Each structure stands twice: as structure tokens, then as C-alpha cells.
Amino acid sequence: MISISRYERVNDLGAANSMPIEDMMEKARKLVQRGRVEYIGDNLYNVVGDHGTYTVAKKIDGTVTCNCPGFARKKRCSHSLAVILLPQSGRRHGKRREL
């Protein structure tokens, strides 16, 4: 499992315009709590965000990638963080839902 501090190091670009990590964590927690993270297999997850549904891949080394525009620019997003937080929330996988 990747820790939040490691997430910051691995995915840090130091972008001045990026959302503070505390705010991103809160947004990610809400995604998990609302069941908006769905495990689809092969270490892939669909995450229903505020602006669309994105796919997050969790690699064997614990790093994550997301296909949202924010991750493409900043190498971090609430969708990828939600996937990291899933095991810590007491759920192995998010709820299945119709997308």
C-alpha cells in the first residue's frame, strides 16, 4: 500500500496552482464514502468525479495513474488518491454501480 506522504513525493510536481493536498484528500474521502469508486478488474478502477468518469490504474509498485486532465497536468488528482484511500476505508473495493 502506498502512503499519503509517498504519494506526495512520487506524484509531486510542485505546481503552484495545484489543490492543497489536504483539500484533495477530503475530496478523495468523499468519493470513497459516496461509493463513487468502482473496481473493474486488473488493478483498474472507475472513479465518478464531478466532471466525468475516469479510469485509475494501480501499478504493482503502488503508484497510480489517472486519465483525467488534472492528472495529465499535475501528476496528482482526487480520483487517484481515492483509489489509494480505498483499503484504508475498510473496503477492499468500491461499490458496484451502473455508470
Domain enclosing residue 10, as ranges: 4-89
Does 54 reside within a domain?
yes
Per-residue confidence (pLDDT) for residue 97, from 0 to 100: 46
Q: Which residues of 43-78 are buried (b: 16+ CB within 10 A; e: fewer)?
A: eebbbbbeeeebebebeeeebbbbebebbeebbbbb
Query: Do the domain assignments include residue 96?
Result: no
Name residue 38's beta-bridge partners. 46
Tally the domains of the chain: 1
Q: What is the pLDDT of residue 77?
A: 95
Asked if the model's pLDDT at residue 16 lies above 60, the reply is no
pLDDT digits (tens, 9 = 90+) for 59-97: 999 899 999 999 999 999 999 999 999 865 444 444 444
pLDDT digits (tens, 9 = 90+) for 31-44: 999 999 999 999 99
Angle at 42 between CA 74 and CA 96, to 5 degrees: 90
Residues 76 and 24 sit within 8 Å (Cβ to Cβ): yes
93, 87 Cβ separation under 8 angstroms: no
